[in-house]
Amino acid sequence: MSSTITAMLTPPVTRRDHSQGPPVAPITLVEYGDYECPYCHQAYFIVKELQEQLGDQLCFVFRNFPLTTVHPHAQHAAEAAEAAGRQHKFWEMHDTLYEHHEALSDKYLKAYATQVGLDLARLNQEMAAHGYAVRVREDFLSGVRSGVNGTPTFFINDVRHDGSYDLVSLLTAIEDAL
């Protein structure tokens, strides 16, 4: 049996995903991330810069990859972002979580939810029921099957980016993919 390790995004991006930028953009950048991961916090600002520089050329997609035993607040943070998505504020919550990646206990999650204007009663109810745990786990497993072994991991047009995720490396890889 072959020991090849797949490094292609599985499944590809669909309408189920959270995306920013035109779906028809020539570059689709997918990140598997964990809200409590300090490296993902670094990468958050890099992605912002990429979006600034590439504009409509870039479609950015975020999928969850919480390592829950290493990062005890990552799972709830991911569920909170998904719950915010149901209220059409996924990206507002996503950004807030990464800008406060060192304070993600439930108490803070509720404060951030209020800050971004979510219906808190609904959020509390859905969080308590772990309504989004399945969705987060689906993301996680899709990452595993795509060859994600840690966070952040990026895919450029479905191909895993194995280089560094600093701005220059990512821009170079994106140019190569065009």
Binds another protein (CB under 8 A): choice among 13, 37, 83, 84:
37
CB 73 within 8 A of CB 36: yes
Binds another protein (CB under 8 A): choice among 13, 27, 34, 62:
34
Binds another protein (CB under 8 A): choice among 14, 52, 69, 121:
69
Q: Per the omega criterion (within 30 degrees of 0), is the bond before 152 cis?
A: yes
The amino acid sitting at 177 is A
172 contributes a contact to another protein by CB under 8 A: yes
Structure tokens at 63: 């999928």
How far apart CA 26 and CA 166 sit, in angstroms, is 21
Nearer to another protein, 123 or 148 (CB): 148
162 contributes a contact to another protein by CB under 8 A: yes
Find, among 126, 152, 157, 123, the residue nearest to 63 by Cα. 152
Binds another protein (CB under 8 A): choice among 94, 152, 156, 174:
152
Question: What x-and-dash track marks residues 111-150 binding another protein by CB under 8 A?
Answer: -----------------------------xx--xxxxxxx
Q: Please measure the distance between the N-terminal and C-terminal CA atoms of the chain and give it in whole angstroms.
A: 34
CB 134 within 8 A of CB 17: no
Site of interaction with another protein (CB under 8 A) = 1, 3-6, 34, 37-42, 67-71, 140-141, 144-153, 162-166, 168-169, 172
